[in-house]
Amino acid sequence: MAKERKSPQEKKSLEYTKGHFTFGRLSSRMFPKTWKRKKTLANREYRRKSEDLLAQAKRGIAAEDASLIVDDLTSAHFKQSVIRKPLIKADTVTVGEKVKLKLAKRQQTVGRRVRVRESAHQAASSAIRTLCSLEDERLVDFVRKVDRLCRVHDSKEFVRLQLSKDPIDQAMYFINCLASGTNSLEDTVCKDPELRTALAAWFAKANRIIRRDRRVIEEKVKQKQMTEKRVNALRRAAR
């Protein structure tokens, strides 16, 4: 009898419903081999449990004990005692489901780069506005904290700043990202002349504060060294 021929539409429909695809760490070519091994291990475990349960009813058992065992080994008791391990095909879908997932993922990625650029521009604008609003002691305190954070590289503090909703913390996180070389933020600032000008003016203020603090520290170190030299000279003269 000749085999019934199927139209291309019917073949495609069968492929979508009967064909399977494996996501995850196992490839589609490797999955049949691992699935066969998984079934073999489950069946082997089921046979061993069955043999352990029926071992007491094998040849060589006494006649008076056989009647007691027969009453216990009913079909319901056997099903309750020996449970077959369920097999689950993880990360396996039909070809039709795979196509739907791929199309949904493709739809989600449409305009993703634009959204990322807009989000980076919004974050940079908000951070630079916060930086420009700092004055006097608030600015000095902020610059010292940022300088200390960039030199120490405290990962816990960096995560705290990233999750914080405070504008000051977000601005500090922004400066830290620029110092570590985050490409998206650098591109956003470089492409916007207003942001680039405002940030350059703020960095000029911050650098003046840092240089002033370093001069103060250097002067203190020099004074300490001069004091130590005088004390040593007096000690030598006293001897």
DSSP the chain: -PPPP--HHHHHHHHHHH-EEE-TTS-TTTHHHHHHHHHHHHHHHHHHHHHHHHGGGSTT--HHHHHHHHHH--HHHHHHHS-PPP---TTEEEHHHHHHHHHHHHHHHTTHHHHHHHHHHHHHHHHHHHHHH--HHHHHHHHHHHHHHHHH--HHHHHHHHH---HHHHHHHHHHHHHHT-HHHHHHHHH-HHHHHHHHHHHHHHHHHHHHHHHHHHHHHHHHHHHHHHHHHHHHHH-
65 pLDDT above the threshold of 60 = no
74 pLDDT above the threshold of 70 = no
Q: Share the mean pLDDT of the chain.
A: 80
Report the pLDDT averaged over residues 35-54. Answer: 81
Q: Which residue has the higher pLDDT, 189 or 140?
A: 140
- What pLDDT, in 10s, does the model give residues 106-136? 888 888 888 888 888 888 888 889 988 888 8
75 pLDDT above the threshold of 70 = no
67 pLDDT above the threshold of 60 = no
Q: Using only C-alpha atoms, what is the Rg of the chain?
A: 38
> What is the value of pTM for the model shown?
0.55
Question: What is the per-residue pLDDT for 80?
Answer: 61
Identify the band that residue 76 occupies on the pLDDT scale cut at 50, 70 and 90. Answer: low
**Is the distance from CB of 162 to CB of 230 less than 8 angstroms?**
no
Question: What is the per-residue pLDDT for 232?
Answer: 85
Question: What is the per-residue pLDDT for 68?
Answer: 45
- What pLDDT, in 10s, does the model give residues 203-239? 898 899 889 988 988 888 888 888 888 888 888 887 7
Give residue limits of the domains in the chain.
18-101, 114-225
Identify the band that residue 56 occupies on the pLDDT scale cut at 50, 70 and 90. Answer: low
Question: What is the per-residue pLDDT for 63?
Answer: 46
- What pLDDT, in 10s, does the model give residues 128-181? 899 888 888 889 999 888 888 888 877 888 888 888 889 999 888 888 888 777
62 pLDDT above the threshold of 80 = no
Identify the band that residue 55 occupies on the pLDDT scale cut at 50, 70 and 90. Answer: low
- Among the listed residues 214, 211, 212, 189, the one whose alpha carbon sits nearest the alpha carbon of residue 200: 189
